[in-house]
Amino acid sequence: MTYVYPVISRRASGVSIGINLNPNNACNWRCIYCQVPNLKRGSAPIIDLVKLEQELRSFLHELLYGRFMLDKVPQQARRINDIALSGNGEPTSVKEFEQVISLIERVKRDFPLPEELKLVLITNGSLIDRAHVQRGLSHMSKLNGEIWFKLDSVTQEGRMRINNTRMSLKKMHANLKIAASLCPTWLQTCVLEIDGKPPAEREIKAYLEFLTKIKQEGISLQGILLYGLARPSLQPEASRLSKVSAAWIASFAARIKTLGLAVKVHP
């Protein structure tokens, strides 16, 4: 299918129904750990909303009434956990973002889905200042929606090294504030070793100071999603990347928890 794909998700502990709004492999960032082949700079293409709806309905029918769960999914993960707007680029770059959320709501009504089923947006947060994106996020909040807002580094140097973006901390801060005001929001942070070295102490301190600041300002977060490398990168830097140790990520999580924030760790 063009837009809809299944993921047996380690973070979700179930089946995540992915919706890929960037089938052209285009993104406005280029994260060095990205698993997208032939990644290029750009935005999402025009979305065929009719085809997207057909694919979503077809796959939901297969999950609920077909053999997919029995044949493809381990017994402990045989549940539908969420519908996730993710894929091969930045999903909020799609011009039809608001219409996509309405489409998902319409389709959900026609299936006996779990009441707790989440609608998750996995985003780098860079385009949340756009009005049509904000309208979509407000709609998401009424559909048990969650935003997973990427924050891999607080420093300009770190964001250039990891995400290849010049997005300023000021704009990131402002967009995070908007996101959290519209829909429940988690910060998602990928930690990894580059050339055998984990993030430097100055990076960690800057990150913790940023979390302290936004908490003092009353920006309400659900917590932090802290995760390591799970699959090989398909970017030029791949050979330089490796996982941080379980002890390192546990220590980092413990420091975040001292700030009074929830942390979910997926090493």
pLDDT in tens, 155-211: 999 999 999 999 999 999 999 999 999 999 999 999 999 999 999 999 999 999 999
Q: Which ranges of the chain have pLDDT less than 50?
A: none
* Confidence (pTM): 0.94
Q: What pLDDT does residue 12 have?
A: 54
The residue range of the domain holding 84 is 4-265
Q: What pLDDT does residue 9 have?
A: 66
**Buried residues in 147-168 as b, exposed as e (16+ CB within 10 A):** bbbbbbbbbeebbeebbbbebe
Q: The domain that contains 215 carries what CATH number?
A: 3.20.20.70
Q: What pLDDT does residue 69 have?
A: 86
Total residue length of the chain: 267
Q: What pLDDT does residue 224 have?
A: 97
Q: What pLDDT does residue 150 have?
A: 97
Domain count, the chain: 1
Q: Are 226 and 249 in contact (CB under 8 A)?
A: yes
In the chain the beta strands, taken as DSSP E runs, fall at: 4-9, 14-20, 26-27, 40-41, 80-86, 118-123, 145-150, 185-190, 193-194, 223-227, 241-242, 263-266
Report the percentage of the chain scoring pLDDT > 90. 87
